Amino acid sequence: MDILTLNYVNLFLGIAASFLLILLYKQNKQLFLLYWFFASSCLWINSTIGIFSRSGFDLPYWLNPAIPNTCYMGIYLFLLAGLYEQTQRKFKVGWLLAIVILTYAINLTELAQASSANRLLLNLPISIVLNVMALRLLIRQKNRELRAVYICFSMAFLFNIIQLCSRYILFSLDLSGIFTQHSSQIMIGLGYFAITAFSLLTFGSCLYLVYRQQHIALQHIADRDALTGVFNRWLLNEKLQTELQRSQRLKQCCSLVMLDIDHFKQVNDLYGHVAGDRVIAHIAYVAQSELRGYDSIFRYGGEEFLICLPNTDSQAALHIAERIRIQVEQSCAIDCPQAKATVSVGVSTYTDGEPDWQHLITQADNALYQAKKQGRNQTQHYQHLVTQDL
């Protein structure tokens, strides 16, 4: 493929990417999509000027190659800015503009005007630094849900760093007369091909990122209860089974807390279903704010919640359950004064043996039944009740 054809391919890629990215931005209004739209626009501007120049048009130096070289840098800059934005880090737009102006100014210097090899030797180090910054940022990402996307982006930047460094070394050697003019042309051609490959890799990664984000958002909706935002019951089997198997493997305890709002029918009857819904949502919020990051809470029934506490023995579980119960009692008196809601709580704990989550739920349910029976607004632990009976 000759350089002109590669320019046409890059032009097509740049336009297609710009078109798709601006459509996605209009839909999602996420700033990183706008930055990447600018990156793809730099690609097609770069290619358009390249096509005119290689088709025999006599363009002034300030337009060609100064503008395509600046656009080339713009691709990396806007990609980097988009990555900063997507990973919620601050990127100063002032820096971005300063580097763009600096690149253009460098390309107007006498040294740059002297030869294309000089221009490459001046531009390549800045490109390498920008690519290394992007790779460093990607490697530091801890988001497990987007890990595959960041790996794709990292591959693209790693590939680019390798090709940029190789070309930089080869050009440096070329200056010392080791290579011929012909081999230098081959290297320029390889440079254009590298832009095509890099654009394909990064553009593919952008689309993959948008797809993953949408998938995660849908998964979030599917897994959660609409009223309270906690996990819904469909996820219960899978999560509890995984948690109990992990506890068995690590020889750890795991506790379940079942929580039911007291006399909730009265709340509905007296204040209406909307007020009832508000109480349910409030209690879910209070319970969740008392939990650790690795605990999980499910809406088990209409006004019933189930909490899974990994690596928690019976004493610690009782302590957490009591803390939630007291918090609910106190906060409902302030936040929902008409409907003074309280909760009854049942706790059960897995200690060893074959994990059976259904059995553990039944135990927590029995403890909850005892809490209701003994006057409500209290916490009971199944194992403690059994010991008392003995």
Ligand X SMILES: Nc1nc2c(ncn2[C@@H]2O[C@H](COP(=O)(O)OP(=O)(O)OP(=O)(O)O)[C@@H](O)[C@H]2O)c(=O)[nH]1
For ligand X, which residue of 233, 265, 292, 319 counts as binding (CB under 6 A)? Answer: 265
Minimum Å distance from CB 381 to ligand X? 19
Peptide bond into 125 cis (omega under 30): no
Selecting among 85, 243, 303, 304, the annotated active-site residue is 303
Q: By C-alpha distance, which of 231, 256, 259, 230 is closest to 356?
A: 256
Check binding of 153 to ligand X (CB under 6 A).
no
Check binding of 345 to ligand X (CB under 6 A).
no
Beta-strand relationship, 379-381 and 343-350: parallel
Piece in contact with ligand X (CB under 6 A), picked from 52-60, 229-237, 254-262, 381-389: 254-262
Check binding of 346 to ligand X (CB under 6 A).
no
Q: By beta-carbon distance, which residue lies closest to ligand X?
A: 302
* 167: CB partners within 8 A, 6+ apart: 120, 124, 187, 190, 191, 194
Beta-strand relationship, 296-301 and 254-261: unpaired
For ligand X, which residue of 85, 225, 243, 260 counts as binding (CB under 6 A)? Answer: 260
Binding residues among 283-322 for ligand X as defined by CB under 6 A:
302-303
For ligand X, which residue of 277, 289, 338, 359 counts as binding (CB under 6 A)? Answer: 277
Q: Which residues is 258 bridged to in the sheet? A: 306, 346
Check binding of 264 to ligand X (CB under 6 A).
yes
**31-54 helix and 181-223 helix, angle to the nearest 10 degrees:** 160
Minimum Å distance from CB 380 to ligand X? 14
Please say which residue, 145 or 277, places its beta carbon nearer to ligand X. 277
Burial of 354 (0-12, 13-18, 19+ CB in 10 A): exposed
* Residue 243 annotated to the active site: no
Coil, strand or helix at 309: strand
Footprint of ligand X on this chain (CB under 6 A)? 260-265, 268, 273, 276-277, 280, 302-303, 372, 376
Question: Which residues are marked as active site?
Answer: 303
